[in-house]
Amino acid sequence: MTRLNAKPKTAPANFKKTTMKTVYIILLTTLTFNAFGQDTGKSLNSEMTRLKTETALIVQSQAIDEYPLWSPNSDFVACNIEGKWYKFRLTNIHLADAEWHGQTIGILTTQDAYSELTTKEQTKFEKVSKLNTREVKTTDGTKIELKTDEMAVSFIVTKKGEKAKKLWTSSGENCHSLILSPDEKYVAYLC
């Protein structure tokens, strides 16, 4: 993850900083864009459209303990960092541009975008978040894969009736834990 050109400001102050080389992050990839510009707020969709990217870095931490969870309305993504659950809002946010694997991505820079996830919220999030380590399918037949090949992982989206589109290939990271958002517009994963 050393190719990121900007540092997110979303991690709570009590996160430990270490010198580990493995960085676990939550990335979101959009599966559909709002082509008509109807989304005028600072939502994840509008920010990704503004940056002309399909991938956003939401959480950068070396201490993510479990797979990401989605809120029932797809407006939050949550993760467990060092035994504590946090939710990251995907509305009223700002993304900065950065580079990762040779492509432009957005990085969440909104300082107040996170808060602790309550036990009640966690239960609701868990009900709608189905873990799929390497492959998910939408109801319209789009297949999303984290395909392994030797020491690399490729992120591939295949829409029904179309050719597979490789968005990126890792350079040694172990990317996994695909979670499709309940609205099927995004997929979250760890890398």
> For residue 32, is it within any domain?
yes
Q: pLDDT of 58-92, one tens digit each? A: 998 888 888 999 999 999 999 999 999 999 999 99
Residue 110 burial (C-beta neighbours within 10 Å; 0-12, 13-18, 19+): buried
- Domain tally for the chain? 1
pLDDT digits (tens, 9 = 90+) for 142-185: 999 999 988 889 999 999 999 999 988 887 778 889 999 999 99
Q: Is residue 8 part of a domain?
A: no
In a domain, 168, yes or no: no
pTM beyond 0.75, yes or no: yes
In a domain, residue 147? The reply is: no
Partnered with residue 189 across adjacent β-strands are 27
128: containing domain: 24-132+174-190
